[in-house]
Structure 1
């Protein structure tokens, strides 16, 4: 996190949290976000300049991006009840919910001061609402097919990248055509990142393992679709006929099975298709160098070099 971003987030928190202990708690959340070395604010800045922006307020806009993403991180972890090492998971849930609301109210106040209003405010709200709708599909276990997964992921994760980009182009003269391309690109980037996370989480050996949580991620959907007796314990666990304790006893064997199943290779193929589309959209994007290249480096270039 850029030092100026942290400073601006601190100011937003001071305006939103009057209680000293509450403010310190929120500052610990920002410090945790800083340790993640997230690129959300830098994506906003690079999107702004690559689309011809020159606003003196762009760093404040970038701090709004980082704060909204922090609030959505809190929401995600509270819903999933994982990431027990995070400071927002170590405090009582009612306190964490108050913190989430304080962060969002700080954002609303900052957007008002930045004169983000009218159509721009509507667009920002709809992008965040789209992500929440994707999150709702995820937490209510309505994912049954790969198409469901792709749609949900574009809404949930793609919208995060859309929002980071929106905060960059909100006060530029970018064309509607360029916005359409950028939003499609953001959805591709969100898919690539989420598939990577899902491949990592399906083979974890701790409680964060998506298998133990019965999450219908892309690798899980692949495994659920295989008609092979070797995969029946996995499938029966999802159906509820095998208890979690029985799966825990076989966890290492099941993780070996996952590695041998071909599901990770399948996910990499889907990732590759997303990356090819991202490259095509990126080439179509009318943007200014070197910021256009910076945007690519921040969002999806690392997946290309690693493929």
Structure 2
């Protein structure tokens, strides 16, 4: 585990121990953070990266990164509770009301943690504005996702731009706001494009998963699934029937191997890869236009 991960975790735990007074509440919240640590803290790392690449040098950036990760963890918990999936997560092993209460606490604690950093008040206010503004965009995107009323590619790309792109942007903008008054617009643009490309990549991987979080099994209309549903191909009718409630999940699962072969031969991977690459190239163009050292650009480009 990297030193950065450890420092972010320590800051998260300090905030929890300071503000969560009840022992069982504190213990459960700490367990959530400890569990999350095994996956790393990529959003916090983006906050630190942007702060440092724009000239910041305060150690309190780890506390700001912890604030971002607390917000992301809160939204992750709410997402799993809303979708009623990902049952292996520790917040799914306790009652929903308690999990929701902790998630609410994490969201407020993220703002409190930013407030308690040693940065100039004006910088903190800008960072808090960036975080809250982007989280509100993500809430709008999450609502679109929950109602699952997306039928065309443009709607889906807009939704993940709000949901995934906004959260990447939140992490990047908090670090930027704490370091400088400049570059905010361009950072938001490439961060959202990175978020979209990452989500599209995840959509492609998910297409071949048949577990509890499978988009296909859960009838979630992702970019590749929209392609499959709209493609004029007789062999894909079984998927269309499943999404239109004409056949049950059990019937679909019986033909898992056959369906996977059909998907592989449908052209969906090639199609989705092209769309993902467009967003990657657009993000790269924006990153290359930044007036910063090449080493920082390379670190950003490595995340595409």
* CA apart distance, 1:195: 0.8
The partner residue of 1:265 within 259, 266, 270 is: 270
User: Are 1:47 and 1:295, in contact at CA under 8 Å, matched by a contact in 2?
Assistant: no
Distance 1:112 1:272 in 2: 38
Distance 1:242 1:71 in 2: 36
Distance 1:200 1:104 in 2: 29
Map Cα deviations across residues 126-162 of structure 1 (whole Å, 9 max, x no partner): 1110011111111111211100011111110011111
Distance 1:73 1:288 in 2: 34
TM-score, length basis structure 1: 0.92
User: Are 1:48 and 1:172, in contact at CA under 8 Å, matched by a contact in 2?
Assistant: yes
Distance 2:174 2:205 in 1: 30
Distance 1:23 1:270 in 2: 44
**Is it true that 1:5 corresponds to 2:12 in the alignment?**
no
Distance 1:93 1:133 in 2: 22
Distance 2:300 2:270 in 1: 28
Distance 1:13 1:128 in 2: 21
Q: Which residue of 1 aligns with 2:83?
A: 80
Distance 1:291 1:209 in 2: 36
Q: Which residue of 2 aligns with 1:29?
A: 32
The partner residue of 2:221 within 198, 216, 226 is: 216
**Is it true that 1:166 corresponds to 2:169 in the alignment?**
no
Aligned-partner SS, 2:178: coil
Q: Which residue of 2 aligns with 1:207?
A: 212
RMSD: 1.6
Q: Which residue of 2 aligns with 1:125?
A: 132
Distance 1:123 1:41 in 2: 14
The partner residue of 1:16 within 14, 19, 22 is: 19
Relative contact order higher in (CA < 8 Å, ≥ 6 apart): 1
* CA apart distance, 1:117: 5.4
**Is it true that 1:49 corresponds to 2:52 in the alignment?**
yes
Q: How many residues align?
A: 297
Match runs of 1:1-307 below 5 Å: 2-114=5-117, 115=121, 118-175=125-182, 178-297=183-302, 299-300=303-304
Shift in alpha-carbon separation, 1:276–1:108, aligned structure 2, 3 A: closer
Distance 2:233 2:300 in 1: 44
Shift in alpha-carbon separation, 1:44–1:117, aligned structure 2, 3 A: closer
TM-score, length basis structure 2: 0.92
Map Cα deviations across residues 254-304 of structure 1 (whole Å, 9 max, x no partner): 12211121111111111111111111111112224533332333x22xxxx
